[in-house]
Structure formats: C-alpha cells, structure tokens
C-alpha cells in the first residue's frame, strides 16, 4: 500500500527532472504490482472520508517517476459524477495528434509532487490522440478529451522531467487566458 510519503516532492528530489526510460516487455512483475498500487492509491485519494482520515491529497494521475522509478509508465483513475472510475494503465506513451484548441483547468492544475498552491494557468490541448501499450505490451491508440486529456499531458510531462509549474509563465501567470477555454 502506497503512502503519501512515498510520493517524491519536487522541492527536494532531482529524479523528477530526469527523463524516464522506455519499458521493455514482458514488464517486470514489480512494475505491474506498482501500477496496481498506484491505481488503488488514486482511488482511495478520491474518497473524501478516507483521504481526510489518512491525510492524503486527492489525485487522478500518478507517474512511476513520482515514486522514484525512472520508467515510462503512469496510471490515471478518474472518478465520474456517477461514482464510477475510468482508469488507464499507460506504458511508453506518445501523443500522435492533438487539437488546435487549448484549454486550462479553471481551479488550477495540481500535482501530488507539488505541495504548495501555485497561481497560473497551464495551456493544454483540449483533445489528444495517444499511442501507448498496456501492461501486456499490446498497442493501444486512444483519443481523449477535456479532463482526461489534461491528465495524460500532465503525466507524460512527468515522464519527460517536466512538472506542471514549469509551464506557468513566471512574468504573466495568466498569459493568453483569453485564447483558451476553461474546464
């Protein structure tokens, strides 16, 4: 079971700035197990009662590098309004196309590796097509939009050593807000 303390903080961990390495198949059983633990952690983090009791912050995505594993995989667990979860286990992802339209998260993007609130917007594509593999190595091509597209882009950035705060314009944190749509 993952703990909040297992997640690296960008303030004191240089590994978050490194580029993760491609995963070869078959995947190591330890990586498959870690992906399951990551999904479980995200699910529990979205249960308000549990999160409050355990002192964990809500999250919908988590990359292996955030746990100190420099491999190109991440998971997403998104709780719908109906209370169901949409989940992805993503290995070796590549964005193969994207919309021209850009969006930003109106209440601000967050990250389990960034502990303080940071003002500003992060331009993201409204829709992307991603090619990746599942844990068995099967190729998947998926078109995602809105919140899921933001989560994919956020996690892919992690695999490339980029943290969302790097994308905020330091001089003008709300730069070009009028050219994007809020979600």
Asked if 104 contacts 183 with a C-beta cutoff of 8 angstroms, the reply is: yes
Task: Kindly name the residue from 10, 106, 109, 155 that is annotated as catalytic.
Answer: 155
Q: What is the pairing mode between strands 102-104 and 181-182?
A: parallel
Judge whether 87 counts as a catalytic residue: no
Q: How far apart are CA 23 and CA 92, in angstroms?
A: 6
Query: Which residues are known catalytic residues?
Result: 155
């Amino acid at each position: 079971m993952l703990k909040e303390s297992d997640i690296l903080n960008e303030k004191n961990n240089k590994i978050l700035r490194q580029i993760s390495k491609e995963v070869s198949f078959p995947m190591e059983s330890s990586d498959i197990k870690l992906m399951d633990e990551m999904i479980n952690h995200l699910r529990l983090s979205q249960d308000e009662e549990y999160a409050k009791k355990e002192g964990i912050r809500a999250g919908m995505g988590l990359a292996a590098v955030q746990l100190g594993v420099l491999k190109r995989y991440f998971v997403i667990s998104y709780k719908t309004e109906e209370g169901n979860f949409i989940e992805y286990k993503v290995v070796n992802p590549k964005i193969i196309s994207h919309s021209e339209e850009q969006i930003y998260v109106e209440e601000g993007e967050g990250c389990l590796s960034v502990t303080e609130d940071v003002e500003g917007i992060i331009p993201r594509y409204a829709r992307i097509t991603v090619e990746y593999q599942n844990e068995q190595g099967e190729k998947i091509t998926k078109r995602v939009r809105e919140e899921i597209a933001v989560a994919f882009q956020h996690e892919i950035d992690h695999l490339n050593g980029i943290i969302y705060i790097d994308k905020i314009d330091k001089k003008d944190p709300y730069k070009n807000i009028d050219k994007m749509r809020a979600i």
